Chains A and B, each alone.
Chain A
């Protein structure tokens, strides 16, 4: 059965050949959409995500306005063709939850009190999914917000850690390994997934979710590992922004 799949071998190598603390390949490009105020395209392993930022603009409907600060409205959406079996389009329970936690994470880092009564819309579109799309979406949203010129205290970054391999090939329980950035099969057949988002400058955690079971020691281990991953990705985000805008400076 596929659920008995061996996710990690004796040398600590994973299915796709990664080490336990190795990320998938990440590519970030800022400012890809012409009509949006800010945008970002991100590839993270098999994930392909576009984030677009519109605003700040007047919040509509009016009852959603806050007279003291701006509201951040993130909308996470998976394209129907983003997964193997066609996903029924439209918001579902899962994507509404992700939209909500992403909005709350982004609201923490945007200087919302500069734009009373306004809304900042963040649209995250998952074109291709391969585990860890909420992390990919939030990471892309961070770059898109910076690209839109929105004042913020930090560029948010997200990454997941998890636990895999507690079933050996005979189906017996073993210790398992805490690993960074779960792939698709690791997510499906692993034991736990811990996506987090942080504000890399202060180290503040702005999103934390967990699926599965971890002991307290494993949780601490996974959290440390995920924060380490976040810091690596944060540098890629900054490079993407610099690459896009430093070029304009070198024209002579």
Chain B
């Protein structure tokens, strides 16, 4: 966020020589040259050229906290949609409950939302998730909204500045999954306010001074509520 210029790069755009720069995320090397492989924003950190994608599916990384929606209960596991290209497997050994074989649907059924952690991503990109960690549970109540997974860091902000701001002014409980799903719980009008702020963050994620703008918005709205 320090460099003043933000450039859009499109696939196949030439980014530099491989002997001078290092190819980071979202790039590939061909014949000693670095090219962009996807649509995104160029960011150069030390010698690395990275591309922060603007769109695309969630790329699961081990240890990420995500919000999943149960797609199918199987006899000893569940298939959970976590917005990755593939459904994730949640095994009964990875939940805090003691479940009889074939009774998985009594605990989690189609449509239930859970907070989960990515346990494993194997070479075939088969995903496993777990509920055995702090603060992981089945979601009851609240509202789930969605932003592009690539914009999650922006919504959290530097050292969580943006998210703590939202929590402070709205009195909502907010959980941001790395896969772009966001759970908000609180009063109805506060939820609406948070969603409005999140939409602004998503639409203007590449502009500067966004945290201040959101703060102003939330402050103004608070005063209007008082009137």
Residues of chain A having any CB pair with chain B under 8 Å: 37-38, 55-58, 67, 111, 115-118, 146-155, 199-201, 238, 241-242, 245-246, 248-249, 251-252
**Does the CB pair B39–A146 fall under 8 Å?**
yes
Instruction: Output the residue of B11, B38, B55 with the most chain A CB within 10 A.
Output: B11
**Beta-carbon nearest neighbor of A58 in chain B:** B86
Q: A149-B54, A149-B56, A248-B206 are in contact. Are A201 and B85 (CB under 8 A)?
A: no
**Does the CB pair B86–A146 fall under 8 Å?**
no
**Does the CB pair A57–B35 fall under 8 Å?**
no
**Does the CB pair A150–B38 fall under 8 Å?**
yes
Query: Bound state CA distance, A251 and B55, in angstroms?
Result: 18
Question: Lowest 3 CB-CB distances: which A-B pairs, in order?
Answer: A149-B56, A149-B55, A151-B37
**Does the CB pair B124–A245 fall under 8 Å?**
no
Query: Bound state CA distance, A58 and B26, in angstroms?
Result: 22
**Beta-carbon nearest neighbor of B41 in chain A:** A249
Contacting residue for A67 out of B10, B53, B124, B208, CB 8 A: B124
Apart from A111-B28, A201-B12, A246-B8: 16 A-B pairs, beta carbons within 8 A: A37-B55, A37-B56, A55-B57, A55-B85, A57-B57, A149-B54, A151-B26, A153-B11, A153-B37, A154-B12, A155-B10, A201-B35, A242-B10, A245-B54, A249-B41, A251-B203
B207 at the interface (CB under 8 A from A): yes
Q: A148-B55, A149-B54, A251-B207 are in contact. Are A241 and B10 (CB under 8 A)?
A: yes
**Does the CB pair B35–A150 fall under 8 Å?**
no
**Does the CB pair A245–B8 fall under 8 Å?**
yes
B6 at the interface (CB under 8 A from A): yes
**Beta-carbon nearest neighbor of A68 in chain B:** B124
Residues of B within 8 A of A238 (CB): 10
Residues of A within 8 A of B39 (CB): 146-147, 149, 241, 245
**Does the CB pair B207–A249 fall under 8 Å?**
yes
Query: Bound state CA distance, A118 and B206, in angstroms?
Result: 30
**Does the CB pair B35–A56 fall under 8 Å?**
no
Contacting residue for A249 out of B12, B86, B206, CB 8 A: B206
B98 at the interface (CB under 8 A from A): no
Query: Bound state CA distance, A235 and B37, in angstroms?
Result: 17
**Does the CB pair B10–A252 fall under 8 Å?**
no
Contacting residue for A38 out of B26, B41, B55, B203, CB 8 A: B55
**Does the CB pair B124–A117 fall under 8 Å?**
yes
**Does the CB pair B12–A155 fall under 8 Å?**
yes
B30 at the interface (CB under 8 A from A): yes
| B158 CB → nearest A CB, Å | 19
**Does the CB pair B56–A150 fall under 8 Å?**
yes
Query: Bound state CA distance, A120 and B1, in angstroms?
Result: 33
Residues of A within 8 A of B28 (CB): 111, 153
**Beta-carbon nearest neighbor of B86 in chain A:** A58
Count, chain B residues at interface, CB 8 A: 31
**Beta-carbon nearest neighbor of A30 in chain B:** B39
Contacting residue for B30 out of A56, A150, A153, CB 8 A: A153
Contact with A along B8-52 (1 / 0, CB 8 A): 101110000000000000101010000101111100000000000
Q: A37-B55, A67-B124 are in contact. Are A115 and B8 (CB under 8 A)?
A: no
B64 at the interface (CB under 8 A from A): no
Contact with A along B190-227 (1 / 0, CB 8 A): 00000000000001111110000000000000000000
**Beta-carbon nearest neighbor of B200 in chain A:** A251
Query: Bound state CA distance, A251 and B200, in angstroms?
Result: 11
| A204 CB → nearest B CB, Å | 11
**Does the CB pair B12–A56 fall under 8 Å?**
no
Residues of B within 8 A of A249 (CB): 6, 8, 41, 206-207
Query: Bound state CA distance, A219 and B213, in angstroms?
Result: 60
Q: A116-B124, A117-B124 are in contact. Are A111 and B37 (CB under 8 A)?
A: yes
Residues of B within 8 A of A111 (CB): 28, 37
Query: Bound state CA distance, A238 and B13, in angstroms?
Result: 10
**Does the CB pair A154–B11 fall under 8 Å?**
yes
B87 at the interface (CB under 8 A from A): yes
B168 at the interface (CB under 8 A from A): no
Complex A-B: 12 CB contacts under 8 Å: A37-B57, A56-B85, A58-B85, A111-B37, A117-B86, A149-B54, A151-B11, A151-B38, A152-B37, A200-B12, A248-B205, A249-B41
